[in-house]
């Protein structure tokens, strides 16, 4: 096949993926909703093959369920699944903050400060999608600072699901400000090189969101 054609196909599939992902995270496509390839082709003006490739990729990421020759639908996580997901996330984030303290520089921690400022602005502007995006970026940046490629790979695979779960959370304005304050406490602990405080704040932050306890996470 011509190399240019292959590149165009890959670009179309990437565009389809990004557009469908936006529709899922913005709840234009609602959890549990059955979706039609034909409808997506018409709406996005992208041919069927890239649409199908995008849906398969989203299926691997756990955001859609594809039943070949039957239907495709948006994921709908049970409360039990979200709890189990939260437990894994707690342990991965604890590993991230500990390694970030060990391997991170003060300059890298300043990046987290800027993310917190943008997060606060998103709350003030009531831009929930941007707030959720920045929330994920904050945690992923800590993992980046930790400088462990395997851990980063695990986190990358999880954070599309995190965005999906956050889109359907019932956090109110006070919860969002509390989350921002918890981010800043985590950041202070990182700057102070205090792993005990960092772990304490990351646990509190994620326990609040997922409704977890030490008994569930085996602490």
13 within 8 A of 5, measured Cβ to Cβ: no
Question: Can you give the residue ranges of every domain in the chain?
Answer: 3-74, 79-217
pTM for this prediction: 0.88
pLDDT of the residue at 67: 83
Structure tokens at 213: 């306890």
- Mean pLDDT within 44-52: 92
Structure confidence by residue, pLDDT tens digits, 164-190 = 999 998 776 678 899 999 999 999 999
Q: Class assignment of domain 79-217?
A: mainly alpha
Residue 67: phi and psi, rounded to 5, are -110, 105
pLDDT of residue 218: 82
Q: Which of 8-17, 131-140, 146-155, 197-206 has the lowest mean pLDDT?
A: 8-17
Q: Which CATH number is 3-74's, of 3.40.50.1970, 3.40.50.720, 2.40.30.10, 1.10.10.10?
A: 1.10.10.10
């Amino acid at each position: 096949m011509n190399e240019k054609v292959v590149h165009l196909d890959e670009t179309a599939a990437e565009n389809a993926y990004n557009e469908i992902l936006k529709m899922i995270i913005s709840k234009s496509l609602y959890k549990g909703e059955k979706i039609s390839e034909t409808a997506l082709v018409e709406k996005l003006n992208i041919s069927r093959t890239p649409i199908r490739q995008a849906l398969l990729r989203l299926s691997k990421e756990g955001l859609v369920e594809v039943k070949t020759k039957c239907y495709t639908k948006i994921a709908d996580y049970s409360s039990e699944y979200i709890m189990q997901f939260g437990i894994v996330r707690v342990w991965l984030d604890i590993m991230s903050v500990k390694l970030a303290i060990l391997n991170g520089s003060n300059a890298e921690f300043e990046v987290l400060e800027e993310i917190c400022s943008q997060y606060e602005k998103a709350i003030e502007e009531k831009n929930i999608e941007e707030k959720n995006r920045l929330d994920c970026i904050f945690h992923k940046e800590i993992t980046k600072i930790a400088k462990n490629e395997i851990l980063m790979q695990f986190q990358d695979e999880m954070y599309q699901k995190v965005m999906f779960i956050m889109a359907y959370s019932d956090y109110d304005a006070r919860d969002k400000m509390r989350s921002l304050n918890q981010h800043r406490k985590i950041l202070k602990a990182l700057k102070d090189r205090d792993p005990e405080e960092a772990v304490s704040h990351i646990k509190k932050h994620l326990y609040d969101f997922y409704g977890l306890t030490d008994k569930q996470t085996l602490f």
